Amino acid sequence: MEQEFWHQRWAENQIGFHRDSVHPMLMRYWSTLCPMPDETVLVPLCGKSIDLNWLAEKHEHVIGVELSDIAVRAFFSENLYTPQVHRAPSGHTHYCFDELELISGDFFTARLSPTSLIYDRAALVAMPPSMRDQYVHRVRDLLAPGGRLLLITLFYPQADDNPPFSIDTSIVEEVFSGLDIRLLETQTEPEGDRGEQVWLIKANA
């Protein structure tokens, strides 16, 4: 989507994708990544997710990247955190508080180092098909050798061109081909044609 689309969604508080509780699939399956406390966690397109808090309780450094500065500032305000703020030469703004570092700006141009752990709950599903390969290429570049990705996707009969986008099994297997891909769980709603899936994806060592 165009960046202006997301800026407008946050400006108008049209954020139905935001959860008020930690995602249960994160809590249930994070341990399958065999995460160590000193391993940095990267959360692309993090919004103001409280999943960040949950991860920060378990890791020494959690980096979230979010296009909307409104979302980043809301995260710190709603959690009553007072971050240190600095602007990087890239134009991105970094907000830091204890274990948390939120970077406000474009995920594709942020200066990031490869990391061992990535958590994607709402990023891949936010990418239109025209940007999907670009996003996955960026994630694969940022996954260190032996790194692990916990990916949560949605599937449903999509009738329009608006996010979140339906991501079925074949898409995940195609875009992450060459990596170790494991489907951990599928939760299907009663109607049977929509639900969530959680994946463990490992980079080659």
The predicted-structure confidence for 61-91, as pLDDT tens digits, reads as follows: 999 999 999 999 999 999 999 999 999 998 9
- Residue predicted with more confidence, 15 or 134: 134
Q: How high is the pLDDT of residue 9?
A: 62
10 is in an annotated binding site: yes
184 is in an annotated binding site: no
Residue 121 placed within a domain: yes
Q: How high is the pLDDT of residue 20?
A: 84
- 16 pLDDT band, cuts 50/70/90, is low
Which pair of tokens denotes residue 173? 């297997």
Residue 138 placed within a domain: yes
If you search the block for the tokens 């830091």, which residue do you land on?
A: 96
Sheet with 93-97, edge to edge strand ranges:
84-87, 93-97, 100-104, 62-66, 41-44, 115-120, 143-155, 195-202, 180-188
Mean pLDDT of 133-150: 97
Mean pLDDT of 102-108: 95
Residue 40 placed within a domain: yes
pLDDT mean across residues, the chain: 92
Residue 17 placed within a domain: no
**Domain assignment of residue 115, given as a range:** 3-12+22-202
CA distances from residue 33 to 19, 144, 157 in whole angstroms, order as listed = 23, 14, 30
- 37 pLDDT band, cuts 50/70/90, is very high
Residue 85 placed within a domain: yes
Q: How many domains does the structure of the chain reveal? A: 1
CATH number for the domain spanning 137: value is: 3.40.50.150
Report the alpha-carbon angle 89-95-97, nearest 5: 140
User: What Rg do the C-alpha atoms of the chain give, in angstroms?
Assistant: 16
Q: How high is the pLDDT of residue 191?
A: 80
30 is in an annotated binding site: no
179 is in an annotated binding site: no
Residue 146 placed within a domain: yes
Residues 189, 192, 196, 200, CA torsion sign: positive
Residue 189 placed within a domain: yes
